[in-house]
Amino acid sequence: MEGLSEEVNYVATVPYAVFPLDRLEAYIRSQIVSDPLYFIAQADPSTKQRGSPIIRLDHIGIVTKYEKKIRKLLELLGARIAYEGVVGKIGVSCEYHAPANVDIEIVSPVRDNSIVSAHRTKMPFMPLHHLAFEVRNLEDGIEYFRERGYHLVDGSILLAPKPFHRVVFLLPVQTGGMLIELVADDGKEYSGYGGKQENVWQV
């Protein structure tokens, strides 16, 4: 066809470069293998074979200065408080409301420098704070995500007010801004923080 370049196979472009089709596959492969996580997966075949440790969505975390309105709504939904307690290490009080199969956790600061104080002040109309997923084993869950490039907030494991549960949080900068909590029910192996109700773990 008149005016058509003879180099018709040059159709795939990337920034600052033009590749012939027969080199496109090689270029894409080079970008994949340049990812550090690719080498981790290749070095440890178990990362391919190991399935997700997630069992279910355990609860949805809410942080808002309009807690009374949230509680009123939950009452209308037929929710009841299943557990409540304080995690002194991070300065929060937690209420687990159970309207259905997934708990709603209202997290409130108990001191000025609480870990949730900034969210509560700066984002009063964005109550969704985190999603919590139950895992079979917390250490295995941590390792599963670490192998895939995710790291813990402060690198620490917390004892939760919910009876016999330990939790960790993944860095939100690596999850697109969504704070993700991993939760494991460890039975009576670990003691926990004291709470407001008798059925909350005691030290």
CATH value at residue 111: 3.10.180.10
> Mean pLDDT of residues grouped by 10 in the chain (203 residues)?
42 44 58 48 48 93 93 91 87 89 91 90 90 94 94 87 87 92 79 42 34
Rounded to whole angstroms, the Cα distance separating 98 from 110 reads 22
Clarify whether residues 22 and 121 are in a common domain. Answer: no
Clarify whether residues 31 and 64 are in a common domain. Answer: no
Answer yes or no: is 2 within a domain.
no
pLDDT of res. 15 = 43
Closest CA to 61 of 108, 162, 158, 130: 130
Clarify whether residues 71 and 136 are in a common domain. Answer: yes
Answer yes or no: is 74 within a domain.
yes
Clarify whether residues 91 and 142 are in a common domain. Answer: yes
Clarify whether residues 42 and 75 are in a common domain. Answer: no
Clarify whether residues 16 and 78 are in a common domain. Answer: no
Cα 102 to its chain centre, rounded Å, is 16
Answer yes or no: is 20 within a domain.
yes
Q: What is the pTM of this model?
A: 0.68
pLDDT of res. 190 = 52
Clarify whether residues 121 and 173 are in a common domain. Answer: yes
Answer yes or no: is 88 within a domain.
yes
Closest CA to 104 of 83, 122, 126: 83
Clarify whether residues 109 and 126 are in a common domain. Answer: yes
Clarify whether residues 17 and 93 are in a common domain. Answer: no
* Backbone dihedral angles phi then psi of residue 202, each to the nearest 5 degrees: -115, 150
Q: Which residue segment(s) compose the domain that 58 sits in?
A: 52-185
Clarify whether residues 70 and 37 are in a common domain. Answer: no
pLDDT of res. 150 = 94
Clarify whether residues 60 and 104 are in a common domain. Answer: yes
Non-local (6+) Cβ contacts of 174 within 8 A are 149, 150, 151
Clarify whether residues 40 and 56 are in a common domain. Answer: no
pLDDT of res. 99 = 82
| Number of domains into which the chain is organized | 2
Rounded to whole angstroms, the Cα distance separating 203 from 191 reads 6
Answer yes or no: is 100 within a domain.
yes
